[in-house]
């Protein structure tokens, strides 16, 4: 039972460290990991979830795709579903939030497109927001590392004390 708890703890630590590393590395390869703050795409993209966006050519975007783009209405990146594509050159997209009654009051030019949403992980956005802070990054990487080092130092201590006890028993 004790071994199972140690293995579970180690698995959680490895998972947290992997998430932290991927969250920081993704932007270097053009990918984005963004927290969903608005309910405009519910139920497809839930508030508090994570939307992973990959870079894509404008010509590869089709009606029904969810794209992330720089909105002319705010400074934030918005993710909405494409409901129409400019037939001539795929240079403009009409978008709409799934939970919204009306289409967005603007068309999205291709140069404003950040990418296509390829993955959504519900309820994980708050954790990634924390990991993106200096304290969160430190706790997610350094604290698990210290815990692993502590576990290993304990194991080494146990082995050394068992060997010392074994030597004392053989000497007598």
Q: What is the chain's mean pLDDT, rounded?
A: 85
pLDDT reported for residue 150: 87
68-79 residue pLDDT tens: 999 988 888 999
Domain definitions of the chain by residue range: 1-28+125-157, 31-123
d(CA 79, CA 96): 9
- Mean pLDDT for 36-45 is 92
Residue 105 in this model has a pLDDT that exceeds 90: yes
Confidence of residue 67 (pLDDT cuts 50, 70, 90): very high
d(CA 106, CA 52): 24
116-139 residue pLDDT tens: 999 998 988 888 788 778 888 788
Q: Pick 163 or 46 by higher pLDDT.
A: 46
Taking the model in full, what pTM does it have? 0.68
CB 111 within 8 A of CB 93: no
d(CA 21, CA 25): 6
Q: Flag the least confident range among 21-25, 63-67, 125-129.
A: 21-25
In CATH, the architecture of 31-123 is: Ribbon (2.10)
Confidence of residue 169 (pLDDT cuts 50, 70, 90): low
26 phi-psi bin (left φ>0, alpha ψ -120 to 50, beta other)? alpha
The length of the chain is 172
């Amino acid at each position: 039972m004790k071994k199972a708890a140690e293995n579970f703890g180690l698995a959680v630590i490895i998972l947290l460290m992997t998430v932290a590393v991927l969250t920081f590395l993704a932007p270097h390869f053009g990918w984005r990991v963004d927290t969903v703050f608005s309910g405009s795409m519910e139920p497809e993209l839930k508030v508090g979830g994570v939307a992973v966006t990959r870079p894509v050519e404008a010509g590869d975007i089709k009606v029904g795709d969810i794209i992330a783009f720089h909105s002319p209405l705010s400074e934030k990146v918005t993710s909405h579903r494409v409901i129409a594509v400019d037939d001539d050159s795929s240079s403009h997209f009409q978008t709409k939030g799934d939970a919204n009654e009306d289409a967005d009051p603007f068309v999205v030019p291709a140069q404003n497109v950040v990418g296509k949403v390829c993955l959504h992980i519900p309820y994980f956005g708050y954790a990634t927001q924390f990991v993106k802070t200096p304290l969160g990054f430190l706790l997610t990487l350094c604290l698990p590392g210290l815990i692993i080092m502590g576990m290993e130092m304990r194991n080494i201590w146990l082995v050394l004390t068992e060997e010392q006890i074994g030597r004392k028993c053989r000497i007598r």
